[in-house]
Structure 1
Amino acid sequence: MKKNLLLVTLVTQAISAQITSYDNNFASNGKYTITEASNSHYNNIVQNSDGSLYFTYIKGSATTEVVLSKLNANGTVDTSFGLNGEVSIPYTSPGFPATLKKQADGKIVILGFYEDGTAITRILTNGQMDTAFGTNGTAKIPYIGASLNVDSFGFHLQNNKIIVYGNAFDSNYHLLDHSLVYRLNENGSIDQTFGNNGSINTKGRFVFVDNQANIVSLISSNINNSLYPYGAVEKYDSNGQVFSAFGNNGVTSFPSSPGLINTAIMDSNNYIVCINNIDNEIFRINPNGSRDNSFVFDNTTAPFNDGNLSSSITEKNGSYYISWMTGATGETFLISKLTSTGAIDPSFNYYSESSTDPIFIGNMIINEGSIFAVRGKQIFKFIVNNNATLATADFSKASRTSISFENPIKQQLIYDTKETVQSIEIYSTGSKLIKTIQNNNSNVSDLPTGIYLVKIRFANGKETTKKLIKN
């Protein structure tokens, strides 16, 4: 599928509810910079009712220390939290995102990894380890973790317990063809009353907890599965037993492939929203497991007809907030709001801003009147006002630089263009330069399976970026 990036100009448009500016009362002109953070780490944020924020980051590029820190509502570091505003989290890896959630009692739960599997750490509101949880604040689950694509893992809060899932491994650390779902008690021990002696065995890459505390597993068509070649949805009750009233004895299989699924969320109405950020597609699955044909995201119209869709999506009150990266070198990021039917919300439209680096917007927090967003080493706070006038990018009058790639990549990087290529730089999604090549059909078999950003420089001085997947 060919995707070309755009050179953009700015226009002014009238809107009724839109990001209008940064909040100058937050940090420095609405931007908090994590000065000691490495750009290679996936930073995550959660918010308290008083407006303060918890966030994770990897401290420095030469260390493997993952840190949880806290900001006051005005964007200053809360030095009363932990040790001078931060706490070092054990058993986390700089190569994986440190998933972060807040319990109803205010305690912070973080998922990381140790040498044999997944580690769940719980932190008290003052930044101290919760020694009543696991061993010294950490519970370990052996032989589950991330897939080769750095996905298929996570956790959810189920009332006072924790649902943890990950790709299964054998005792020799060989990746198996299924995932395991565990439930932890309040003290961090494995709940043996859950599933089959404490766990569920599923082919699903994505696991959710719905509004009724039931467990829902999404089996994508990305995997080799003869039983469900196009994917399926499995449902279990809150205790991990097959929900026989759902579909065919707990399973609804897809009659055809809904599309590639790189990431997925379950929204507040039990819909599963899926992102294929290779082809820039978003689609939705009904609570009964069928494809929701009433949800249509049109990626053929501006500004979504060019550029790259982020893997992050946030739902609030039935609407979906997404982010995009476009521009000649991927330097322009966008934030947009979709309605419950997948259309761009005309009252919000989109916000765009150009910067110096091609970095995606990560996770977002949507509030009434404000939006928090993570981008690289920075946490932004935007103001959302009514009846405002906003400068946005005009994507309908853009010039194009044409190059297309064989995507997914296999053993060689194959491209098609009428222009002379000077160099091609291959970056990780954390903006780390992995490899530089020039010639068509260059061997890239040494690249691990995953998603990459590719920056192309042409002999005429033009540049463009692409997002590619390596199988």
Structure 2
Amino acid sequence: MRTIITSLTLLTCLSASAQNIVLNEGFGFEGFTYVENTSVVDKFVLNPDGSIISAGRKYVSGGSDLVLTKHDAIGTQDMTFGANGIALTDMYASVTINSIQLQADGKILVAGSTETGVEIAPGIPILYAFVARYHPNGIIDSSFATNGIFTETDYDQSEFTAVIVQTDQSLILVSYADGISYFTKLTTNGTLDNSYGTNGIRAISDLSTFFFFNRGAISLADGSILTYGLDGTSAERLSCIKTNSAGDLVTSFGQNGIASFDSDPNGFEMATKAQELADGKIVLAGESADNVIIRLEADGTLDSTFATNGILMHTHPSMDMIVQPTGKILIGGQDADAAFNYSLIVTRFNTDGTIDNSFNSTGYFEFDFSDGFEMLNCMVLTNLQRLLIGGRTEYLDQTADFLLAEIDMSESLGLTANKSDEFSMYPNPFSDKVILSVEDPSITSVELTDAMGRSIGNYSLDKQTVLSLEHLNAGIYHVVFTNDQQERISRKLIKN
């Protein structure tokens, strides 16, 4: 059994307005779950029912294989998925996972690159871009491409960095191959769409006038595509470009469709993550001399209200980024506690780029699963107040496994630290009725919400209140208690 270590010093009660960030004890075992006989989660995606599809790698002799797993919303592994809970695909010598997406029918798309085991020159392997499609149960979809996998073999070194699912369920694959960025379009059955570009492929950069090393792409609300990475035309600059789905630059964005920035004129800079906000602004996170976050206006110019003229340089661990609906920015990574012990850490910034000291009273939450090596690779909001984290855990004996963890960002220190022992709800899980027991007279109301935070009902409280909830579907709900100071605390409720 692995030892769970949480940094309790971060839970010190300082003020009622601060958020007490905690591991969600209702997820997995005290906030964590891991899968033996795997190695590392690279990417994951949520199904509409809240279940989690994780894609990563299993280390094997001489390389790695592609691995998928499925967990429900509370971290229980689905052992009917794939074979005994694991979908394993042999991909030549080794595999890199860059993207996972779901189709409307629930099928799973995983893209990246595979190392063939053959070298162009000593130390330079041949890499082929690939995208694989799986049924929702983890079985590879043999009707897609060739036995479920489309592989781009026309280049010595290529990789798919993103998958964009179109409304007609055709695919635009964003790739980097032999120094050039491309869009590749596949039909719904995984064959090249020869009506697109040249034989299904359209170059969006070149080796002379615009050298662009892309690291991913996202769909924007207006139907266009934002591709991000590094502009190496004249210097190594963090960059993004806006195109339509045909691959044509949207010239009203940035400078003729290209927005490039020198956050560190003397160093390497590259965007590794992007997110569009509700108001059309764009947040980019990436690498520079330290780490960097940039916020752009919708037209690709720097947002001067953020940090220093739109650019925030920082030294906090940053492997992934999520912007909350409030506009606050979460970044996550790992931090070395000792020579062979790494913990996971999540940091939050305010909308103006300053550190958010109301987040756990420090601006960050650090937590650990074992006395070995942990890594954070990906994050997603499972609802407005819950953050799911994926990566790996590794003992000193180098045994690495998929790791998932969920943190709860909903709790206020004033109510959580001092009052949580004065109310309870049972049974949990329940079938038809739930009894709320409240001893604290300052708690004045309770609200029931669904897993996404949408209100189902508000209730007045006595010392014991019976809620008749037989009409609800099976699933996850939240009971939110509020006191007379408008402090709130949320507790997970599960209906069988």
Q: Say yes or no: does 1:44 pair with 2:43.
A: yes
Matches within 5 A, 1:27-426: 27-38=28-39, 41-62=40-61, 64-91=64-91, 94=94, 96-97=96-97, 99-114=99-114, 115=116, 117-143=128-154, 153-159=161-167, 160-169=169-178, 176=179, 178-198=180-200, 199-202=202-205, 203-206=211-214, 207-208=216-217, 209-218=219-228, 220-221=230-231, 223=232, 225-226=233-234, 230=237, 233-247=240-254, 249-252=256-259, 260-261=269-270, 263-268=272-277, 269=280, 271-276=282-287, 278-296=289-307, 308-317=316-325, 318-326=327-335, 329=338, 331-348=342-359, 349-354=363-368, 356-357=371-372, 359-366=374-381, 367-376=383-392, 377=401, 378-388=403-413
CA contact (8 A) 2:324 2:384 kept: no
For residues 276 and 231 of structure 1, do their structure 2 counterparts lie closer, same or farther at Cα, with a shift above 3 Å needed?
closer
> Following the alignment from structure 1 to structure 2, what is the Cα–Cα distance between the partners of residues 253 and 364?
26
> Following the alignment from structure 2 to structure 1, what is the Cα–Cα distance between the partners of residues 364 and 101?
28
Matches within 5 A, 1:440-451: none
Q: Say yes or no: does 1:21 pair with 2:31.
A: no
For residues 99 and 217 of structure 1, do their structure 2 counterparts lie closer, same or farther at Cα, with a shift above 3 Å needed?
closer
For residues 371 and 144 of structure 1, do their structure 2 counterparts lie closer, same or farther at Cα, with a shift above 3 Å needed?
farther
Alpha-carbon deviation of 1:350?
A: 2.5
SS of 1:353 mapped into structure 2: strand
User: Structure 1, residues 227-277: CA drift from partner, whole Å, max 9, x if none?
Assistant: x77565433222223334445544456588687225231324351413226
Name which of structure 1's ranges 312-321 and 323-332 shifts more when overlaid on structure 2: 323-332
For residues 164 and 93 of structure 1, do their structure 2 counterparts lie closer, same or farther at Cα, with a shift above 3 Å needed?
farther
SS of 1:362 mapped into structure 2: strand
Alpha-carbon deviation of 1:43?
A: 3.1
Name which of structure 1's ranges 264-273 and 378-387 shifts more when overlaid on structure 2: 264-273
> Following the alignment from structure 1 to structure 2, what is the Cα–Cα distance between the partners of residues 246 and 320?
23
CA contact (8 A) 2:130 2:160 kept: no
> Following the alignment from structure 1 to structure 2, what is the Cα–Cα distance between the partners of residues 266 and 305?
19
SS of 1:309 mapped into structure 2: coil
- The AA in structure 1 aligned to 2:163 is F
Matching residue of 2:442: none
> Following the alignment from structure 1 to structure 2, what is the Cα–Cα distance between the partners of residues 368 and 337?
15
For residues 16 and 360 of structure 1, do their structure 2 counterparts lie closer, same or farther at Cα, with a shift above 3 Å needed?
farther
What is the aligned length? 365
CA contact (8 A) 1:52 1:71 kept: yes
CA contact (8 A) 1:323 1:360 kept: no
User: Structure 1, residues 282-301: CA drift from partner, whole Å, max 9, x if none?
Assistant: 22233322222322189xx9
CA contact (8 A) 2:237 2:269 kept: no
Alpha-carbon deviation of 1:122?
A: 0.9
For residues 97 and 325 of structure 1, do their structure 2 counterparts lie closer, same or farther at Cα, with a shift above 3 Å needed?
same
Residue segments in structure 1 that go unaligned for 5+ positions in a row? 1-6, 170-175, 392-471
User: Structure 1, residues 311-338: CA drift from partner, whole Å, max 9, x if none?
Assistant: 2112332332112444653744321222
CA contact (8 A) 1:92 1:112 kept: no
> Following the alignment from structure 2 to structure 1, what is the Cα–Cα distance between the partners of residues 22 and 263?
44
> Following the alignment from structure 2 to structure 1, what is the Cα–Cα distance between the partners of residues 135 and 20?
34
> Following the alignment from structure 1 to structure 2, what is the Cα–Cα distance between the partners of residues 27 and 383?
13
- The AA in structure 2 aligned to 1:77 is Q
CA contact (8 A) 1:230 1:254 kept: yes
The runs of 4+ residues in structure 1 deviating greater than 6 Å are: 255-259
- The AA in structure 1 aligned to 2:128 is G
Cα root mean square deviation, aligned = 3.6
Alpha-carbon deviation of 1:278?
A: 4.5
Matching residue of 1:444: none
> Following the alignment from structure 2 to structure 1, what is the Cα–Cα distance between the partners of residues 388 and 93?
25
CA contact (8 A) 1:215 1:238 kept: yes
Alpha-carbon deviation of 1:9?
A: 6.3
Identity level (%): 24
> Following the alignment from structure 1 to structure 2, what is the Cα–Cα distance between the partners of residues 139 and 257?
39
TM-score by length of 2: 0.63
CA contact (8 A) 1:145 1:153 kept: no
CA contact (8 A) 1:320 1:339 kept: yes
For residues 143 and 211 of structure 1, do their structure 2 counterparts lie closer, same or farther at Cα, with a shift above 3 Å needed?
farther
For residues 275 and 92 of structure 1, do their structure 2 counterparts lie closer, same or farther at Cα, with a shift above 3 Å needed?
farther
CA contact (8 A) 1:281 1:297 kept: no
For residues 135 and 249 of structure 1, do their structure 2 counterparts lie closer, same or farther at Cα, with a shift above 3 Å needed?
same
> Following the alignment from structure 2 to structure 1, what is the Cα–Cα distance between the partners of residues 282 and 157?
24
For residues 102 and 65 of structure 1, do their structure 2 counterparts lie closer, same or farther at Cα, with a shift above 3 Å needed?
same
Alpha-carbon deviation of 1:373?
A: 0.8
Residue segments in structure 2 that go unaligned for 5+ positions in a row? 1-6, 117-126, 206-210, 393-400, 418-496
Name which of structure 1's ranges 368-377 and 325-334 shifts more when overlaid on structure 2: 325-334
